């Protein structure tokens, strides 16, 4: 199969960036891969692993001549990086990202990206809690969704056909790595991800913090008697604090709305427990079990937790 892009530039060689590099090479999706990382040490590791032909610590140098530029750093860095790379990007190239929020990405970049660049934010819903260039693997995206969110006021409008071709090309790139691709608006993405990812992570951080603070339970007992539920919470709560700080600050409206709904449902459960309403508890648990079964049937329950240290990396 012919390569979809001649040259791609990956800014940030963490789990997602390194996995894209490996998948691009394995499936022949790009002829050349250029990478960028903050430190010389990470650059050398990436080169030793064969992730890229060339590594740079300066994003502006890494994007020269690239047909596709993928931002794989924390969303909070996008504005600074975008300002640095925008003047040097190849006319007609595509700029995308892998961030867990999307409206914030549009807000940060749409006024920076030149009119001759295709700006298509993206989010591969895949990952593990592992991090760094050594954590990547080429099958990470297989069977997982990648959500693309071209802004309604798309920067590149002079040629609609060309803009559509750029979107189809990016879809083909993600499909070539095994992903299923969905198109939605940035705001809808953020609302969906608030309940499927962001609020669950907030709850996980909170329950682990509550267990830590309980004076009647020592830290050793929390660890010693951790059953499946608490063990799963600790896995989710092991995610990168910088990434999740940025997510909650940039998607606060959707998160707060979902937290409000969650709080209402939690209050209903509290009332059912207080008044011994076993029927309500059973009905609630049975419906929740059905939702879990649908997740399993959709093939989204494999051991690649999608929102750990998954979407951005500081390497």
Predicted confidence at residue 284, as pLDDT, reads: 84
Which range is most confident: 129-133, 188-192, 234-238, 288-292? 188-192
Based on the fold, state whether residues 159 and 215 are members of the same structural domain: no
The pLDDT assigned to 293 comes to 77
Q: Where are the alpha helices (DSSP H) in the chain?
A: 15-26, 40-48, 59-62, 78-85, 103-109, 160-176, 186-193, 199-213, 219-224, 228-236, 241-250, 252-274, 278-297
Section 42-63 average pLDDT = 95
Say yes or no: 69 and 91 in one domain.
Answer: yes
Q: Are residues 129 and 262 in the same domain?
A: no
What's 219's domain CATH number? 1.10.3660.10
Domain interval for residue 124: 5-185
- Rounded CA-CA distance 70/89 in Å is 12
Handedness of CA 109, 61, 134, 223 (dihedral sign): negative
pLDDT above 90: residue 301:
no
Q: What is the CA radius of gyration of the chain?
A: 21
Mean pLDDT check: name the lowest of 52-61, 86-95, 203-212. Answer: 203-212
Residue 309 has pLDDT above 50, yes or no: no
pLDDT confidence of residue 79: 95
The pLDDT value recorded for residue 300 is 56
- Predicted pLDDT at 36: 96
DSSP state of 198: I
In angstroms, how far is CA 78 from the centroid of its own chain?
14
Tens of pLDDT along 223-261?
666 666 777 777 777 777 877 888 888 888 888 888 888
Residue 296: pLDDT band by 50, 70, 90 thresholds? low
Q: How many domains does the chain have?
A: 2
Do 290 and 143 share a structural domain? Answer: no
Average pLDDT along the chain: 85
Share of the chain above pLDDT 90, in %: 49
How would you label 148-165 residue by residue, b for 16+ Cβ within 10 Å and e otherwise? bbbbeebbbeeeeeebee
What is d(CA 237, CA 201) in angstroms, rounded to the nearest whole number? Answer: 7
> Which of the listed residues 134, 159, 185 is the one where a domain comes to its end?
185
Query: Looking at residue 202, what is its pLDDT?
Result: 87
Give the model confidence (pLDDT) of 124-176 as tens digits. 998 766 678 888 899 899 999 999 999 876 544 555 678 889 999 999 999 99
| Residue 202 maps to a domain | yes
Q: Does 245 lie in the same domain as 134? A: no
For the segment 114-121, the average pLDDT, to the nearest whole number, is 93
More confident residue, 15 or 289: 15
Are 33 and 98 part of one and the same domain?
yes
Same domain membership, residue 40 and residue 133: yes
Question: Above 90 in pLDDT, residue 62?
Answer: yes
Q: Is residue 314 part of a domain?
A: no
* One domain, residues 174 and 272: no
Measure CA 149 to chain center: 13
Rounded distance between C-alpha atoms, residue 258 and residue 121, angstroms: 23
Q: Is the pLDDT of residue 313 over 50?
A: no
Reported confidence tier of residue 32, pLDDT bands at 50, 70, 90: very high
- The answer to whether residues 137 and 248 belong to one domain is no
Q: Does residue 154 belong to any structural domain of this protein? A: yes
Place of tokens 């940035």: 186
Q: What is the pLDDT of residue 215?
A: 56
The Cα–Cα gap between 96 and 66 comes to 12
Angle between helices 241-250 and 252-274 (to 10 degrees): 100
pLDDT tens digits for 75-97?
889 999 999 999 999 999 999 99
Looking at residue 297, what is its pLDDT?
Answer: 66
Q: Is the pLDDT of residue 306 over 50?
A: no
Identify whether residues 77 and 203 lie together within a single domain: no
CA atoms of 103 and 251, how far apart (whole Å): 8
Tell me if 127 sits within 8 A of 309, measured CB to CB.
yes
Looking at the DSSP assignment, which residues form a beta bridge with residue 103?
none
- Give the CATH number of the domain where residue 134 resides: 3.40.50.720
Quote the CA–CA distance of 197 and 99 in Å, as a whole number: 13
Confidence bin at 216 (pLDDT 50/70/90): low
Q: Are 119 and 260 within one domain?
A: no
pLDDT at 195: 85
Give exposure, 235-263, as e/b (b: 16+ Cβ within 10 Å): ebbbbbeebbebbbebbbebbeebbeeee
| Measured distance CA(233)–CA(122) in Å, rounded | 27
Q: Which two tokens stand for residue 290?
A: 């059905």
In terms of domains, do 101 and 208 share one? Answer: no
């Amino acid at each position: 199969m012919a390569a979809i892009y001649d040259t791609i530039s990956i800014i940030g060689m963490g789990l997602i960036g390194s996995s894209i590099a490996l998948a691009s090479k394995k499936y022949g999706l790009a002829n050349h891969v250029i990478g960028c990382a903050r430190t010389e040490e990470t650059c050398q590791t990436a080169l030793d692993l064969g992730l890229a032909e060339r590594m740079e610590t300066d994003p502006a140098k890494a994007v020269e001549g690239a047909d596709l530029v993928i931002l794989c750093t924390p969303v909070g860095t996008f504005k600074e990086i975008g300002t640095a790379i925008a003047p040097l990007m190849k006319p007609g190239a595509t700029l995308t990202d892998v961030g867990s929020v999307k409206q914030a990405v549009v807000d940060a970049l749409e006024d920076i990206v030149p009119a001759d660049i295709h700006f298509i934010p993206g989010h591969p819903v895949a990952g593990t809690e592992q991090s760094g260039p050594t954590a990547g693997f080429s099958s990470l995206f297989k069977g997982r969704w990648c959500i693309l969110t071209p802004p309604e006021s798309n920067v590149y409008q002079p040629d609609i056909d060309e803009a559509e071709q750029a979107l189809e090309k990016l879809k083909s790139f993600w499909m070539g790595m095994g992903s299923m691709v969905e198109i939605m608006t940035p705001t809808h993405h953020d609302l969906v991800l608030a309940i499927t990812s962001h609020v669950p992570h907030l709850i996980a951080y909170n329950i682990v913090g509550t267990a830590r603070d309980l004076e009647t339970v020592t830290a050793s007992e929390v660890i010693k008697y951790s059953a499946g539920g608490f063990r799963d919470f600790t896995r989710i709560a092991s995610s990168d604090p910088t990434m999740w700080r940025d997510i909650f600050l940039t998607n606060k409206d959707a998160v707060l709305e979902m937290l409000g709904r969650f709080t209402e449902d939690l209050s209903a459960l509290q009332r059912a427990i207080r008044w011994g309403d076993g029927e309500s508890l059973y009905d609630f648990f049975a419906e929740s079990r059905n939702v879990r079964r649908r997740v399993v049937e959709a093939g989204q329950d494999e051991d690649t937790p999608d929102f750990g240290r998954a979407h951005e990396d500081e390497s």
